[in-house]
C-alpha cells in the first residue's frame, strides 16, 4: 500500500508525521478502529494512544457520535447555508467556555488559528505576532517559524515556499519564558497585535505551562493592548471540559478550537469577545469564509460529543486516574510530562519545559521504544515530539498491558 500510495501521494501520506520518518520503518495502514483499538490492514490489533491526535476522547466509534452521524445522513451532508445545528454547537461551545462570547465555525485547526491571527491584526491595526518555539498552530505561512538566537528575534520559516516577509511578522520566543515576551513587547512597542500560545503544548510533546506563565501572558497582553490567543485545538475539552483556560483560570481574548469539537470529523472554531468578533465579515471588515464551514455532518458529531462530555463529567475523573496510572512507573532515563489525559514519555533525564529542553531527548532510543511497543500491540505517536492521549475506551487492563510492555523494554 505504501508503494502504491507513494506514486500518487507525496511520501505516501497526507500528513508528514504519519510517514514514520522520525522513527524509521514504514507506516501502518489502518483498516478499522473500535473502542481503544486500531486494526491495521494486516489484521494486527493495537492499543491506540493517538486517538486521531486527540479528538477521540470516547474512543473509536462511540455510540452517541455514530447515532448522530446516522441521523443527519437522512437530511444531507452539506448545504452551504445556515442550519439550526450550527447555532446549537456554537451555543454549546460558548456555554462551556465563557470567553467565547461569539464563535465562527471553520474546518480545521490551521484555519482556526489563521483566522484568529487575522482578526487580531485587523482589530488592533498591528502586524506582529508573538508565538513560542515548539508550539504548532497549523501550516499557516507566518506561523511556520522557529526561534532566533536572541530572546525575541524575528523568525525564519521552517518551510520552503514561505516568503521572508511573512515570517518576519512573527516573533518567536521560548515557551514558559515571560522575560522573553516582555523583551519582545519592549523592543516592538505598539506593533504587536497578539500573543498566540498552546496553553498546554502538545506539539513538542506534552509540556505544561509553568506556574504563573499564563497569568503573566495575560497581564503583558493587557498592559500592551495586544490580544491573547489560546490555541486549544489539542487541549480544548480534553484537559477539562472548559479547556486549559478553565483548568488554569486564565481568560484569553480569543481561542481556537478543533479536533474534539467534531467528535472525530473535521471541524474547528475560533472566537472570543463579542467586540472583537464583530470585526468579522459580514458585520465587520475582516474577511473569512468557507463553503463547508458548519456543515451538518461534522456539527452533529461534535454536538453529540460535547453533549456527552457535559452530561458525564465523571469522564474527566476516569481519564485522570487512568492516565496517572499509565505514567506512574519510574522508567530509567525517561521524564514523563502529563496534563490530564495528555502525556509524553521524553527520553531524557532532565525536566522538559520548552522546546530546547525537549530537543535534548535521545530520539534514537525513543525510536527503539516505539517499535518495541508496536511489536507488543501498543500504538504510540511515531515521534518523540508529539503528545499521547488516553480515552474513555481504555480499560484498566489496557493500561496495565501498556505498562508491562514498557517495563519489558527497559528490562532488556
Q: Calculate mean pLDDT across residues 348-359.
A: 96
Residue-wise pLDDT for 288-335, tens only, equals: 999 999 999 999 999 999 999 999 999 999 999 999 999 999 999 999
Nearest to 33 by CA among 24, 41, 23: 41
The pLDDT of residue 140 is 86
Alpha carbon distance 235, 166 (integer Å): 27
Catalytic residue among 231, 253, 354, 398: 231
The pLDDT of residue 366 is 96
The pLDDT of residue 157 is 57
CATH top-level class for 63-311?
alpha beta
Q: Calculate mean pLDDT across residues 96-119.
A: 97
Alpha carbon distance 370, 405 (integer Å): 11
| CA 164 vs CA 113, 144, 183, 243, 345: distances in Å | 20, 11, 22, 34, 35
Nearest to 149 by CA among 180, 115, 121, 194: 180
C-alpha cell recorded at residue 229: 490567543
The yes-or-no verdict on residue 151 having pLDDT over 50 is no
Q: Calculate mean pLDDT across residues 219-248.
A: 97
Residue-wise pLDDT for 31-86, tens only, equals: 999 999 999 999 999 999 999 999 999 999 999 999 999 999 999 999 999 999 99
User: Which residue is it, cell 496510572?
Assistant: 325
User: Which residue is it, cell 520552503?
Assistant: 160
Catalytic residue among 131, 248, 253, 259: 259
The length of the chain, given as a count of residues: 412
**231 in catalytic set:** yes
| CA 236 vs CA 28, 44, 141, 306, 401: distances in Å | 28, 31, 23, 11, 28
> What residues form DSSP beta bridges with 40?
30
Residue-wise pLDDT for 120-149, tens only, equals: 999 999 999 999 999 999 888 888 875 322
DSSP 340: T
Written as one string, the DSSP assignment of 215-259 is HHHHHHHHHTT-EEEEE-TTTTTTSSTTHHHHHHT---SEEEE-G
Kindly report the pTM of this predicted structure: 0.95
Alpha carbon distance 54, 267 (integer Å): 13
Alpha carbon distance 31, 16 (integer Å): 20
Task: Decide if 2-51+313-411 and 63-311 have a common fold.
Answer: no
Domain ranges in the chain are 2-51+313-411, 63-311
42 burial type by CB count under 10 A (0-12 exposed, 13-18 middle, 19+ buried): exposed
Query: 8 CB contacts (<8 Å, ≥6 apart)?
Result: none
Catalytic residue among 48, 49, 136, 354: 136
Q: Which CATH architecture has domain 2-51+313-411?
A: Alpha-Beta Complex (3.90)
Residue 242 contacts residue 380 (beta carbons within 8 Å): no
Residue 355 contacts residue 134 (beta carbons within 8 Å): yes
> Residue 175: pLDDT band by 50, 70, 90 thresholds?
very high
Residue 55 contacts residue 237 (beta carbons within 8 Å): no
Amino acid at each position: 500500500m505504501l508503494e502504491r500510495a507513494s506514486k500518487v501521494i507525496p511520501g505516501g501520506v497526507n500528513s508528514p508525521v504519519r510517514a514514520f520518518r522520525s522513527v524509521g520503518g514504514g507506516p501502518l495502514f489502518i483498516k478499522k478502529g473500535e473502542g481503544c483499538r486500531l486494526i491495521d490492514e494486516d489484521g494486527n490489533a493495537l492499543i491506540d494512544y493517538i486517538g486521531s491526535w486527540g479528538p477521540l476522547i470516547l474512543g473509536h466509534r462511540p455510540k452517541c457520535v455514530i447515532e448522530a452521524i446516522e441521523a443527519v445522513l437522512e437530511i444531507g451532508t452539506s448545504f452551504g447555508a445556515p442550519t439550526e445545528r450550527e447555532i446549537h454547537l456554537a451555543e454549546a461551545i460558548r456555554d462551556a467556555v465563557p470567553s467565547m462570547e461569539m464563535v465562527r465555525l471553520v474546518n480545521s485547526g490551521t484555519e482556526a488559528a489563521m483566522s484568529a491571527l487575522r482578526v487580531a491584526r485587523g482589530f488592533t491595526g498591528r502586524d506582529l505576532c508573538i508565538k513560542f518555539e515548539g508550539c504548532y498552530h497549523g501550516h499557516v505561512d507566518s506561523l511556520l517559524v522557529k526561534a532566533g538566537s536572541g530572546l525575541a528575534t524575528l523568525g525564519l520559516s521552517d518551510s520552503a515556499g514561505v516568503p521572508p516577509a511573512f515570517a518576519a511578522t512573527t516573533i518567536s520566543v521560548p515557551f514558559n519564558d515571560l522575560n522573553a515576551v516582555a523583551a519582545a513587547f519592549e523592543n516592538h512597542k505598539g506593533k504587536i497585535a497578539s500573543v498566540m500560545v498552546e496553553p498546554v503544548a502538545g506539539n513538542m510533546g506534552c509540556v505544561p505551562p509553568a506556574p504563573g506563565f499564563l497569568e503573566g501572558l495575560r497581564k503583558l497582553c493587557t498592559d500592551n493592548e495586544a490580544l491573547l490567543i489560546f490555541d486549544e485545538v489539542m487541549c480544548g475539552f480534553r484537559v477539562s471540559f472548559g479547556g486549559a483556560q478553565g483548568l488554569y483560570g486564565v481568560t484569553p481574548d480569543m481561542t481556537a478550537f478543533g479536533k474534539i469539537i467534531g467528535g472525530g470529523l473535521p471541524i474547528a472554531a475560533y472566537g472570543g469577545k463579542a467586540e472583537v468578533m464583530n470585526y468579522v465579515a459580514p458585520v465587520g471588515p475582516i474577511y473569512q469564509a468557507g463553503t463547508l464551514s458548519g456543515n451538518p455532518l461534522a456539527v452533529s458529531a461534535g454536538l453529540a460529543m460535547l453533549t456527552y462530555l457535559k452530561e458525564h463529567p465523571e469522564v474527566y475523573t476516569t481519564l485522570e486516574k487512568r492516565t496517572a496510572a499509565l505514567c506512574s512507573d519510574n522508567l530509567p532515563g525517561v521524564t514523563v510530562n502529563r496534563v490530564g489525559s495528555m502525556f509524553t514519555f521524553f527520553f531524557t533525564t532532565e525536566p522538559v519545559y520548552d522546546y530546547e529542553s525537549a530537543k535534548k531527548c535521545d530520539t534514537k532510543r525513543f525510536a527503539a521504544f516505539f517499535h518495541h511497543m508496536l511489536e507488543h500491540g501498543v500504538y504510540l505517536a511515531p515521534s518523540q515530539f508529539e503528545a499521547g492521549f488516553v480515552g474513555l475506551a481504555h480499560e484498566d487492563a489496557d493500561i496495565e498491558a501498556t505498562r508491562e510492555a514498557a517495563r519489558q523494554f527497559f528490562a532488556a
